[in-house]
Amino acid sequence: MPKWPSEAESGSAAETGPTASTAAAKTEPAASSTPAAAASPSAAKAEPAATTAAAAVTAPSTQAAKPAPAAVSAPAAKPGPAAKAGPVAEAKPEVFVEQSPTTMLQVRPPQEEVDRRVAAREQAANTKPVLPRVFQVLLAVFYPVVLLVLAIRLVTTNAFLWVEYHRPGFPADSFGFSTDDRLTYGSYTVDYLLNFAGPRYLGGLVNDKGVPLFLEREVAHMADVKSLIDLAFLLGLVLAIVMVIGIIYLSRRSVGGVRRGLFAGSIATLVLIIALGVLALMGWETFFTDFHKVFFANGTWTFYTDDTLIRLFPSQFWSDGGIFIGAFVLVVSSLTLAFTWPTKDRRQAVTRAKRPGRRAAAQ
């Protein structure tokens, strides 16, 4: 009679069936491979399969209802991301990291503070410096004075004296001075105004008869004139130095500053010289007298017609000197006005130079 297998054997057969088929399925690719590969890799793969099948046969029957432990525990062998974020990671001691001094630089200030800073920068950019304006005003004020002093300096020269004495129509001396005598004695007078000598420089001069050439009151007046001339020349020199400094500063720091200062100065000079010219034309004698009253004491500047100063420097000499001073100042100031006139091209050049990019580059 046939013998039926027991429950244990049937269960074992049920377990070994799939395992054997699995092992056969794993060994089939190895058998279908090339003969060289079938000797090594397939055997290596078949060996773990046979071991698994043997373990399944020898395993107790009570484990048949449970899933294979290897299939459940295999994924848990490697900790995933959840394991890293578990309590073990939180248990690490906290490390104190000191903030860098520049950490606060990354924090954006409030919008009000940003607007305030932007407004302050715009105000600083639009605010014009004070010193360039000061130098422009000084150029405008000093220019007429320096130009007048320069014209006076040109008159107090031996060259102007020679031109006057040799000019056609210049009145001759009715008391005997020749043109050579006038040029010689007049040169002494001009040299006295420009040198550092005392009153004896003129007081010791004598004529061909041994008589003093200048009287005491004439020497005293020339000493007063010398003091006034020295003061005027010193003032003109100081103002000219200040103007040169201002021109150098404005040429480096203010585009068009020199031009604007000289333009205003030339206008002021023209107004002044035209006003003085009108007064002189209205009455030269009155203008000459009022001028001496301003700078000299009464009675110290009036002389007789036969005195040496009047014979050397008659009224015609002073009127010619005044005309030369007025013409020189008028011509120079007019040329300055023409060369500094704010034309369209000059205004556009100043506008281009005031653009933020070029101004920042110049600074």
What is the chain's alpha carbon radius of gyration, rounded to the nearest angstrom? 58
pLDDT of residue 53: 38
DSSP 189-250: HHHHHHSS--THHHHT-B-TTS-BSS-HHHHHHHHHHHHHHHHHHHHHHHHHHHHHHHHHHH
SS3 108: coil
Spatial separation of the C-alpha atoms in residues 342 and 187, rounded to whole Å: 45
Phi, psi (deg, nearest 5) at residue 212: -55, 135
pLDDT of residue 17: 43
Q: Which of 166, 156, 220, 158 is nearest to 185 (CA)?
A: 158
Spatial separation of the C-alpha atoms in residues 210 and 357, rounded to whole Å: 78
pLDDT of residue 35: 37
Instruction: Tokens for 189, please give them.
Output: 């007078």
pLDDT of residue 178: 93
107: left (phi over 0), alpha (psi -120 to 50) or beta: beta
pLDDT of residue 31: 38
pLDDT of residue 129: 75
pLDDT in tens, 172-203: 999 989 999 999 999 999 999 999 999 999 99
pLDDT of residue 223: 95
pLDDT in tens, the chain (363 residues): 444 444 444 444 434 444 333 333 343 433 333 433 333 434 334 344 434 434 343 444 444 344 444 444 444 444 444 444 444 445 555 555 555 555 555 567 788 888 888 888 777 666 667 888 999 999 999 999 999 999 999 999 999 999 999 999 999 999 989 999 999 999 999 999 999 999 999 999 998 888 899 999 999 999 999 999 999 999 999 999 999 999 999 998 888 889 999 999 999 999 999 999 999 999 888 999 999 999 999 888 999 999 999 999 999 999 999 999 999 999 999 999 999 998 777 666 666 666 554 444 443
Spatial separation of the C-alpha atoms in residues 85 and 232, rounded to whole Å: 95
Q: Are 136 and 253 in contact (CB under 8 A)?
A: no
Q: Which of 173, 194, 177, 175 is nearest to 316 (CA)?
A: 173
DSSP 247-313: HHHHHHHSTTHHHHHHHHHHHHHHHHHHHHHHHHHH-HHHHHHHHHHHHS-TTSS---TTSHHHHHS
pLDDT of residue 121: 78
- Domain map (residue ranges) of the chain: 140-362
Single-letter code of the amino acid located at 5 = P
End-to-end CA distance of the chain: 120
Q: Which residues contact 36 (CB under 8 A, 6 or more apart)?
A: none
Q: Which of 265, 236, 251 is nearest to 339 (CA)?
A: 265
